[in-house]
Amino acid sequence: MTPYEIIYKKRNGGELSASEIKWFIASYTSGAIPDYQTAALLMAIFLKGMTAAETTELAMAMMNSGRVFDLSDIPGIKVDKHSTGGVGDKVSIILAPMVAAAGVPVPMVSGRGLGHTGGTLDKLESIPGFRTNLSYDEFRHTLARIGLAMMGQTPDLAPADKKLYALRDVTATVDCIPLIAASIMSKKLAEGADGLVLDVKTGSGAFMQKHQDALELTRTMTAIGQGMGKKMKALITGMNQPLGRAVGNALEIEECVECLKGNGPQDLMEVTYALGAEMLVMGERASDAGSGKRILEQIVSSGQGLEKFREMLAAHGGDVKVADDYKKVLPQAKHVIEAKAERAGYIHSMDNREVGMAGVFLGCGRLKMDDVIDPSAGFIFESRIGDQVKAGDTMVKVLCNDEQKGKEAVSRLQECITISETKPEEVKLIKEII
């Protein structure tokens, strides 16, 4: 078996065997196969595709390239949730305490923001003291003790994925569904959960902007999980405007607290309840999604969700006062600048990717992994798609520490929000459940 033979086979459209995939990934991870030959295989996969069996084997090989968490001795059916990312998507931080409070353990390994999408770890780390760099033993102990744990990817968790992603990023092979699916699932399944609920975004602020592409990615990831014996469920949800009203790390934490107090925006709570309900069904705490949603609503109204959030803060070293008086605890921006409507009409659409990039420019995110984030910067959306505005009405509040950057962000936001004379048709937020 040689790298050349495997590259040649895939280049010509052949189906790679399980042993070929395992050998190649193991050899590349160890350094025995160089980047240039791996890049050739990635491009062959990009051009020729992979069968469902190949994609599952690739995910398994990447998962087994490092440590696979064993959570089998922790009672209960462990269920995680994964989102493909978007603008203002802070669902995990609301969802995990709610689901854990309902009795379903939630082991969650999350990522950082890159490009126009935000990252759960960046949001959590805007809380003073909050640690996401847990060890394996700390992760297990926290999960066993309070029913949830949230951490970043460790160097020994799917190390093949880290190497492959860096190579894909510079060889124009990122947007390939088999490679995307294997990358996501290798990390999520290495964390030891028994089941996974997927939130696959589609729209202008999503990686999969077309519904058909989102559907294909959903089916591919679902097949991988099922092929590994995991419980799987997936929702395809809209990302044509920010989810909720806040965009920016500390601002999104503030919104999460309000959601757990029962004051969350309707769209954000709709997605959170839908995903959480499926997690409760998967964890055998609810008979169906309807009863699961009712359980979660009760957890919020009773304060149990907020109390579990406090437990999570304490377990991760975060300042628990965030749950009660976040303005005194979280970093606050110096300046507030308003992006105003330049004409009367209805908010018809947003270039949501451009909203995200305006946030990156302001300091909310990063283009390179070593870029420094400003946790206090961000946006508060006063108007949403379908809202009627008058000329001069505030559409977005821009919170910043660099006033000049704030003014430039205002201009970018005004350009990416379209106002029309007619009200747009209402579009379903939850588009499909698979």
Alpha carbon 213 to its chain's center? 17
Residue 97 in 3-state DSSP? helix
DSSP state of 204: T
Catalytic residue check, 161: yes
CA atoms within 13 A on the CB side of 401: 11
For 91-112, what is the mean pLDDT?
95
SS3 111: coil
pLDDT recorded at residue 252: 97
The catalytic residue among 78, 81, 82, 116 is 82
Give 166's pLDDT tier (boundaries 50, 70, 90).
confident
Cα–Cα distance for residue pair 426/431, rounded to 1 Å = 12
* CA–CA gap between residue 128 and residue 320 (Å, rounded): 9
Q: In the block, which residue shows the tokens 């992979």? A: 50
Q: How confident is the model at residue 113 (pLDDT cuts 50, 70, 90)?
A: confident
Instruction: Please give the single-letter amino acid code of residue 65.
Output: S
**pLDDT tens digits, residue range 45-89?**
999 999 999 999 999 999 999 999 999 999 999 999 999 989 999
Task: Give tens-digit pLDDT for 337-391.
Answer: 999 999 999 999 999 999 999 999 999 988 776 788 999 999 999 999 999 999 9
Cβ density class 348-361: b for 16+ within 10 Å, e for less: eebbbbbbbbbbbe
- The pLDDT tens digits of the residues spanning 276-312 come to 999 999 999 999 999 999 999 999 999 999 999 999 9
Question: Residue 1 pLDDT more than 90?
Answer: no
Please provide the DSSP assignment of 305-367 as one string.
Answer: HHHHHHHHHHHTT--GGGGT-HHHHS---SEEEEEE-SSSEEEEEE-HHHHHHHHHHHTSS-S
pLDDT of residue 12: 97
Query: Pairing mode, if any, of strands 79-83 and 106-110?
Result: unpaired
Instruction: Tell me whether residue 343 is one of the annotated catalytic residues.
Output: no
Average pLDDT of the chain to the nearest whole number: 95
pLDDT surpassing 90 at residue 115: no
CATH of domain 3-49: 1.20.970.10
**Residue 187 is among the residues annotated as catalytic for this protein:** yes
3-state secondary structure of 129: coil
SS3 state of residue 390 = coil
Catalytic residue among 168, 245, 405, 412: 168
Q: Which residues pair with 149 in a beta bridge?
A: 107
Quote the pLDDT of residue 52. 94
Cα separation, 128 vs 329, whole angstroms: 7
pTM score of the predicted model: 0.94
Instruction: Say which of 10, 78, 187, 353 is annotated catalytic.
Output: 187
* pLDDT at 263 > cutoff 90: yes
CA dihedral 356, 322, 394, 122 (to 10 degrees): -10
CATH superfamily of 332-420: Pyrimidine nucleoside phosphorylase-like, C-terminal domain (3.90.1170.30)
Q: Judge whether 183 counts as a catalytic residue.
A: yes
DSSP H helices in 105-175: 120-124, 136-146, 159-170
Note the pLDDT tens digit of each residue in 194-241: 999 999 999 999 989 999 999 999 999 999 999 999 999 999 999 999
pLDDT tens-digit series, residues 15-41: 999 999 999 999 999 999 999 999 999
Considering all CA atoms of the chain, what is the largest pairwise distance in Å, rounded to the nearest integer? 68
pLDDT at res. 70: 94
Q: Active-site residue 201, yes or no?
A: no
pLDDT of residue 112 exceeding 90, the answer is no
- Other Cβ atoms closer than 10 A to 303: 14
* Residue 367: predicted pLDDT: 75
Annotation: CATH topology of 79-323:
Pyrimidine Nucleoside Phosphorylase; Chain A, domain 2 (3.40.1030)
Instruction: Locate the domains of the chain by residue range.
Output: 3-49, 79-323, 332-420
Q: Which of 80, 122, 161, 351 is catalytic?
A: 161
Question: Which residue out of 183, 186, 204, 376 is catalytically annotated?
Answer: 183
Cβ neighbors of 17 (< 8 A, separation 6 or more) are none
